[in-house]
Amino acid sequence: MSRLDEIRELTRVRVLLFLREPEAIFWVFVFPIVLAAVLGFAFRKGEIEPSKVAVVAGPDDTALVATLEGDETIDIERFDELAAAQTQLRKSAVDGLVEAGDPPRLSFDPTRAEAATARLRVQRALTLAENPDAEASLQLQPVTEIGSRYIDFLFPGLLGMNLMGTGMWGVGFAIADIRRRKLLKRYLVTPMRKSSFFLSFILSRLVFLALELGVLVGFGCWVLGVPFAGGLLSFVVVALAGAALFAGLGILVASRVQTIQGVSGLMNFVMMPMWLASGVFFSYERFPEAIHPVIRLLPLTPLNDALRAVMLEGESLIHLGPELALMAGWAVVTFAVALKIFRWE
């Protein structure tokens, strides 16, 4: 066999091995298309994605609202209270906040590209309305204080994504590995209950939770300056609920899968919609309002919402009832279904 034949045959074998890995095909060919489609769905509306701008209602806002509504590149949302509008700006649900006055004032985060675009569009709209030959009278208020920056919005989402990833991989992958090594069959002949087996994974996962979150939160607060406005107890309860939820989901995913490759592909398939839609990198309010109820039901969404409420707004457990109830529901349902369908063989 010549050297060329040798290389050709080895290359053919590598291609065939690649085609036998469904998860590899998914990440190479399918995932980029899905990612582009979802982000395009979230940020594209027609040919030009309008900037979402909050306007605080007031006695002098009629002309201002009419001017901004007349610009097709600006989508305004009116608020009766300044605090509510500031909350939406802090959550990156809007790109800017305009307050009526003489001159009007625009609050925006200069570190976000969408906010910079909104500033230019608002300035242009006011310029055309006042005097096309002159620069618009607009007071700019860059939002740089702690709690209102993009990194402050992003960091709790990254914590939630980390809890999801480590919970599912740390539990589900471990079960799949035990199955691959054919150790589950040995457990079958013991009097051990399925529930005890599952709870051991969940509790062992929680042992490392304090160290894991301590390092991440410490880095975020001390190095990045991310605020921690809420109580430690509230944060711990939310983190425990999220960890239990995704540990249960990891057990469910690994209940029947026979191979490491299979559990890897299935976990990525389960987690990908939450990476994109649950508000990790940008607010899920970017998506059409009609699908918001569906997004809020995704397991990662209540965790991210609760983490942001505790860290950025200082909310207590009393105000986190819906999020905690949804996470508890997911944890109970996934655990119960896993108990039902899990196979030792």
pLDDT score for 345? 65
- Domain ranges for the chain: 51-142, 150-341
Greater pLDDT, 188 or 224 = 224
Q: Indicate whether 292 pLDDT > 70.
A: yes
d(CA 143, CA 342): 51
What's the whole-number mean pLDDT along residues 326-345? 85
Of residues 174, 208, 200, 237, the one with CA closest to residue 335: 200
pLDDT for position 63: 76
- Let me know: does 153 contact 90? Beta carbons within 8 Å: yes
**What's the whole-number mean pLDDT along residues 320-326?**
90
Asked if residues 107 and 97 have their Cβ atoms less than 8 Å apart, the reply is yes
Q: What is the pTM of this model?
A: 0.70
Q: Which of 177-186, 254-263, 309-318 has the highest mean pLDDT?
A: 309-318
pLDDT of residue 100: 79
pLDDT of residue 306: 92
pLDDT exceeding 90 applies to what percent of the chain? 6
C-alpha span between 247 and 250 (Å, rounded) = 5
Burial status of residue 44 (CB atoms within 10 A of its CB: 0-12, 13-18, 19 or more): exposed
pLDDT score at 304: 92
Confidence of residue 127 (pLDDT cuts 50, 70, 90): confident
Quote the distance between the C-alpha of residue 52 and its chain's center: 20
CB count, 10 Å around CB of 112? 18
Task: Say whether pLDDT at 326 is over 90.
Answer: yes
C-alpha 21/C-alpha 14 separation (Å) is 11
Tell me if 255 sits within 8 A of 343, measured CB to CB: yes
pLDDT beyond 60 at 133: no
State residue 330's pLDDT score. Answer: 92
Lowest mean pLDDT among 42-46, 170-174, 246-250: 42-46
- Res 134: pLDDT: 43
* Mean pLDDT value of segment 220-240: 86
Q: Count CB-CB contacts under 10 A for residue 3.
A: 7
What are the tens digits of pLDDT across the range 254-264? 877 777 767 77
Q: How confident is the model at residue 28 (pLDDT cuts 50, 70, 90)?
A: low
Q: Token digits for 117? A: 């675009």
- 3-state SS assignment for residue 58: coil
Residue type (1 letter), 218: G
Among the CATH numbers 3.90.420.10, 3.90.1150.10, 3.40.190.10, 3.20.20.140, which is that of 51-142?
Answer: 3.40.190.10
